[in-house]
């Protein structure tokens, strides 16, 4: 096997993060042909394709996810070593956590507040994003822990999942909506707010409409943002399909109303995802304990 260089690894990881050669080229400030050539060289040297290609979009295949796990962790350790040597004595204890926006409101805030009491010397750095991206960053050791949904088996390579709870999808409206007081509401004729296409619950919502004998509606907006969804619903007759955890406080406070719809789907398990073979210790183990305790 010919040598795999830092250039190959950096380019590969950026393509994996963005699922696009063109976007990776912009991020790396190099030409798209150079990125394509570098990826081609890497795949030739490894003897395996690393992505499944669908048009301009690239998705990691099994070999790509395996290589991402090792290459990402190696690069992360290298960068930590560079920082430790370049700025000795300035390294702080930081735990980097990825949180899916649709599950952030239920268990994460209380766990963070408790963590600040039990581990005052450690900083929690929290980022959000779609589930697939958070898991990709976890495999690369860019994140230490993810709180999100259980992904399909092909996306869990190199990762382990611990379930905290399950929740359902709900269809929410403003109080006083024409359908709010009637059982088994009829959905036709109202604007719809749906999760984005890359949200795990989007296929569940689409399947739900098909099970009712309806066409999948063209959404007015696609979002899982509580602030945006709440504002849109409050000012219109829109119906928003979203995970219950996102709007639990709004429902409890009477700011939103859940429609009485038949057989709404389960959004699936929510839990903690870690890298396989790496036993959590220190602050990571403590945060996981607090997350469990908060369920």
β-sheet bridge partners, residue 240: 172, 193
Q: Which alpha helices (H) appear in 50-118, and where do they start and end?
A: 62-86, 108-118
pLDDT tens sequence across 164-222: 998 899 999 999 999 887 666 678 789 999 999 888 899 999 999 999 888 999 999 99
The two beta strands, 145-149 and 266-275, are antiparallel
Identify the band that residue 1 occupies on the pLDDT scale cut at 50, 70 and 90.
low
pTM for the model: 0.73
Check if 89-165+269-293 and 167-267 are the same fold. yes
Q: Using N-to-C axis directions, what is the helix angle for 6-18 and 32-46, rounded to 10°?
A: 110
Q: For 116-137, give the secondary structure using H, E and C.
A: HHHCCCEEEEEEECCHHHHHHH
Euclidean distance between CA atoms 42 and 241, whole angstroms: 42
| Whether pLDDT at 162 is above 90 | yes
- Read off the tokens for 247: 């709007």
Domain 6-72 classification at class level:
mainly alpha
Looking at the chain, the whole-number percentage of residues with pLDDT higher than 90 is 49
What average pLDDT does the segment 7-17 reach?
A: 89
Structural domain spans, the chain? 6-72, 89-165+269-293, 167-267
- Read off the tokens for 14: 């950026």
pLDDT tens sequence across 101-153: 878 777 899 999 999 999 998 999 999 888 888 998 898 888 999 999 998 88
pLDDT tens sequence across 195-207: 998 888 999 999 9
**pLDDT given for residue 79 in this prediction:** 74
Please say whether the structural domain 89-165+269-293 has been given the CATH code 3.40.190.10.
yes
Third-level CATH fold of 167-267:
D-Maltodextrin-Binding Protein; domain 2 (3.40.190)
């Amino acid at each position: 096997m010919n040598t795999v260089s830092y250039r190959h690894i950096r380019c590969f990881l950026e393509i994996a993060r963005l699922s696009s050669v063109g976007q990776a080229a912009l991020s790396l400030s190099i030409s798209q042909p150079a990125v394509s050539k570098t990826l081609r060289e890497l795949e030739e040297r490894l003897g395996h394709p690393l992505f499944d290609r669908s048009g301009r979009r690239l998705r990691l295949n099994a070999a790509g996810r395996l290589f991402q796990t090792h290459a990402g962790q190696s690069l992360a350790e290298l960068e930590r070593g560079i920082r430790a040597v370049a700025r000795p004595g300035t390294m702080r204890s930081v735990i980097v956590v990825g949180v899916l926006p649709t599950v952030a409101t239920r268990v994460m805030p209380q766990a963070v507040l408790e963590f600040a009491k039990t581990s005052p010397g450690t900083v929690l750095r929290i980022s959000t994003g779609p589930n697939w991206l958070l898991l990709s960053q976890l495999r690369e050791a860019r994140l230490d822990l993810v709180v999100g949904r259980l992904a399909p088996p092909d996306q869990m390579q190199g990762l382990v999942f611990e379930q905290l709870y399950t929740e359902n999808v709900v269809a929410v409206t403003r109080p006083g909506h024409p359908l709010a007081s009637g059982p088994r509401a009829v959905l036709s004729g109202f604007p719809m707010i749906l999760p984005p296409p890359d949200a795990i619950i989007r296929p569940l919502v689409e399947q739900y409409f098909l099970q009712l004998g309806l066409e999948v509606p063209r959404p007015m907006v696609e979002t899982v943002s509580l602030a945006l969804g709440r504002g849109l619903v409050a000012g219109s007759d829109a119906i928003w399909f979203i995970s219950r955890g996102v709007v639990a406080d709004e429902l409890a406070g009477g700011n939103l109303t859940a429609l009485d719809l038949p057989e709404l789907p389960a959004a699936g398990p929510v839990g903690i995802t870690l890298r396989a073979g790496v036993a959590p210790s220190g602050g990571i183990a403590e945060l996981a304990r607090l997350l469990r305790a908060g369920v």
